Amino acid sequence: MHHRQTLRIAVLPGDGIGSEIMPGCLALLAEVTATATAFALEFEHLEAGAALYQRTGEAFPDEVFAAAAQADAILLGAMGLPGVRYADGREIAPQLDLRERLSLYAGVRPVRRLAGLPPVLADGRAADLDFVIIRESTEGLFASRSQAAVEDDRVARDTMIISRPVCERLFDFAFRLAERRKPKRTMGKVTCVDKANVLPSQAFFRQIFNERAQHFPGITADHCYVDAMALNMVKRPWDFDVLVMENMFGDILSDLGAALVGGMGMAPSADIGDRHAVFQPCHGSAPDIAGQGKANPTAMILSGALMLDWLGERHGLAEAQTAAARLTAAVETAYTPGTLIPCEMGGHAGTQQVFDAVGASLAAG
């Protein structure tokens, strides 16, 4: 008798629109894996975030962290609410705690334009934009976030941490991703995005990048200052393949990346470490639109597809990778006719309409 492998998914919907975009995503994940013979997903619903903090005084209880850490993968909606902060004024961000505590150093943010959506850039070459931002997610300037920075109400200091072991793993991850993308993209290029001309920590970042590049002779190693990259992402984003950068630079440029493909609701992400991974949309809890049924769940769905792909690769489950490809294709098919335009792009498709359209194309495909 053949047993299906159970893959346990820790589900953390979180705050604001997080809880609006999660249920439909889980339904699609269940649908696309229903016929798998080698594995089955099991969802474990967990609670963390600002709303939990408001109710209980705890944002991320130890047992919730432990359950998430024991799962095969973590699927997260969005966390944090403006105005809800810890007593010391720090923002409530269990998603950042997860990245740091589980050493999820590679924040993978694909920037891929889907056919059928209103164009953002006029140049026709932007029609099939496809590059990936890798944001280091455990140190960099964010490493200072839990430390008191203001001294005597006179001066404030945040320190950017760049460490060799994290950088080596980060760059190797970036080069391996470029190798994996090469058959499809042909470019085979990793661009180190930094500020090596001004900050010694960033010169160190670039130095380690150059060292690791030697181990990947089939991939072009390229450099660009972060300010120039902001320009290039608008002027010629089609020239890039994999971009790798420090935490805060990645935080900023991935929002620009999301804008290039239509908005925050189109941008999925994966935070990957050597043993654990969290999958969540790039956006936050969007309190300005929460409760209105307007949130675009596409980034959530595509994050679910990234999760299936990662699980498939990690556990040698071809069926999970096929399911990931089917779910991604269902999203693409839903948008291709050009009639499904999410609210954030000026259209009328709310959360449910997007779920329905993707569900219909999944059923048809």
SS3 readout for 65-86: HHHHHHCCEEEEEECCCCCCEC
Residue 109 binds ligand ATP, judged by CB under 6 A: no
Sign of CA dihedral 353, 27, 283, 193: negative
Residue 110 binds ligand ATP, judged by CB under 6 A: no
Residue 285 binds ligand ATP, judged by CB under 6 A: yes
CB of 211 to ligand ATP, least distance (A): 32
Judged by CB under 6 A, which stretch of 97-105, 184-192, 261-269, 326-334 contacts ligand ATP?
261-269
CB of 247 to ligand ATP, least distance (A): 13
Query: Residue 270: which H helix or E strand, with range?
Result: strand 268-272
Residue 296 binds ligand ATP, judged by CB under 6 A: yes
Residue 289 binds ligand ATP, judged by CB under 6 A: yes
Pairing of strands 155-156, 150-151: antiparallel
Between 282 and 311, name the residue whose CB sits nearer to ligand ATP.
282
Residue 80 binds ligand ATP, judged by CB under 6 A: yes
CB of 345 to ligand ATP, least distance (A): 9
Task: Categorise residue 78: left if φ over 0, alpha if ψ from -120 to 50, beta otherwise.
Answer: beta
Judged by CB under 6 A, which stretch of 121-129, 156-164, 231-239, 291-299 contacts ligand ATP?
291-299
Among 265, 304, 312, 350, binds ligand ATP (CB under 6 A): 265
Nearest to 78 by CA among 289, 264, 284: 284
Residue 140 binds ligand ATP, judged by CB under 6 A: no
Site string for ligand ATP, 10-29 (x = CB under 6 A): -------x------------
Judged by CB under 6 A, which stretch of 48-56, 222-230, 258-266, 309-317 contacts ligand ATP?
258-266
Whole-angstrom Cα distance, residue 169 to residue 178?
14
* DSSP secondary structure letter of residue 199: -
Between 202 and 351, name the residue whose CB sits nearer to ligand ATP.
351
Whole-angstrom Cα distance, residue 66 to residue 49?
15
Site string for ligand ATP, 331-360 (x = CB under 6 A): -------------x----------------
Contacts of residue 360, defined as CB under 8 A and 6 or more positions apart, other chains included, come to: 334
Number of residues forming the site for ligand ATP (CB under 6 A)? 15
* Cβ-proximal residue to ligand ATP, closest one: 284
Tokens of 205: 């970042």
Q: By the 8 A CB rule, do 192 and 221 touch?
A: yes
Tokens of 132: 């990936």
Task: Mark out the alpha helices in the chain (DSSP H runs).
Answer: 18-33, 50-56, 62-70, 94-101, 164-185, 200-213, 226-235, 247-260, 298-315, 318-335, 351-364
Whole-angstrom Cα distance, residue 131 to residue 181?
10
Judged by CB under 6 A, which stretch of 38-46, 225-233, 292-300, 314-322 contacts ligand ATP?
292-300
CB of 299 to ligand ATP, least distance (A): 6
Among 50, 264, 272, 323, binds ligand ATP (CB under 6 A): 264
Q: By the 8 A CB rule, do 252 and 280 touch?
A: no
Residue 211 binds ligand ATP, judged by CB under 6 A: no
Interface positions with ligand ATP (CB under 6 A): 17, 80, 263-265, 283-286, 288-289, 295-296, 299, 344
